[in-house]
Chain A
Amino acid sequence: DAGVTQSPTHLIKTRGQQVTLRCSPISGHKSVSWYQQVLGQGPQFIFQYYEKEERGRGNFPDRFSARQFPNYSSELNVNALLLGDSALYLCATREGASYNEQFFGPGTRLTVL
């Protein structure tokens, strides 16, 4: 079984640019969540989508947006990049909106110069 996949694995951008990160869930998983992990800290929740609708949002500015497609894959967009946006961006998926374990992808390492 393929796990959660994310692309790209690494990305280098400059301040002010925009970036799009992609996540493909495990087959059958309809819920996708996005997390930001800054070096030395635990992951911080950004968004959760279930059945193409936003179900939760963390304390992130409006520069961060996301969407989920009919095939349940998801994109995270970040506009007007800041140096502080440099982090590992993680995608986590699960079968439904109710409790079960979440499966994380390997992440996308974003570096903003």
Chain B
Amino acid sequence: LAKTTQPISMDSYEGQEVNITCSHNNIATNDYITWYQQFPSQGPRFIIQGYKTKVTNEVASLFIPADRKSSTLSLPRVSLSDTAVYYCLVGEGPGSGNTGKLIFGQGTTLQVKP
């Protein structure tokens, strides 16, 4: 499974847009890119997933360049409640044969300041 690299930590201020970039140079053709958010003492929560180009939902956008060797999670106008650890994962996409195995790295700790 492809290994991901992302910054250990980031700081931001309320109201700013935050972009967290993840590197995944060895991504496979059928791999999808997924981002999870985790608050202390809670389980991770799915944020967004994509395969290529741009995906947007009500909480975030995911930008994936054509070579798919990196991706950027964009959080618009962050608030204090967005302080959390954000994980970038690369792995199995649709298909009845996949195992559901998620490979988490250390994640990026985002600290939003007032």
Contact = CB atoms under 8 A, between A and B. Distances in A.
The answer to whether A and B belong to the same complex is yes
Interface of A: 4, 31, 33, 35, 40-45, 48, 50, 55-56, 58, 88, 90-92, 94, 96-99, 101-107, 109
Interface in B17-64: 32, 34, 41-46, 49
Nearest to B47: A101
Interface of B: 32, 34, 41-46, 49, 87, 92-107
A41 B93 CA distance: 24
Contact of A99 (B92, B103, B106): B92
Identify whether the interface residues of B are mostly helix, strand, loop, or mixed.
Answer: loop
A89 B105 CA distance: 16
A92 B44 CA distance: 9
Given A33-B101, A42-B105, A58-B101, A98 B95 contact: yes
B24 to A, nearest CB: 15
Closest 6 CB pairs of A and B: A104-B43, A42-B104, A56-B99, A101-B46, A99-B94, A48-B100
B44 A104 contact: yes
A48 B101 contact: yes
Given A101-B46, A105-B43, A45 B93 contact: no
Nearest to B109: A40
A104 B45 contact: yes
Nearest to A96: B96
A90 B43 contact: yes
Contact of A50 (B100, B102, B104, B106): B100
19 contacts: A33-B102, A35-B102, A40-B106, A41-B106, A43-B44, A48-B100, A48-B101, A56-B100, A56-B101, A92-B102, A97-B96, A97-B97, A97-B99, A98-B94, A99-B95, A101-B34, A104-B44, A105-B43, A107-B42
B107 to A, nearest CB: 5
Contacts of A91: 43
Contact of B87 (A42, A50, A98): A42
A31 to B, nearest CB: 6
Contacts of A109: 41
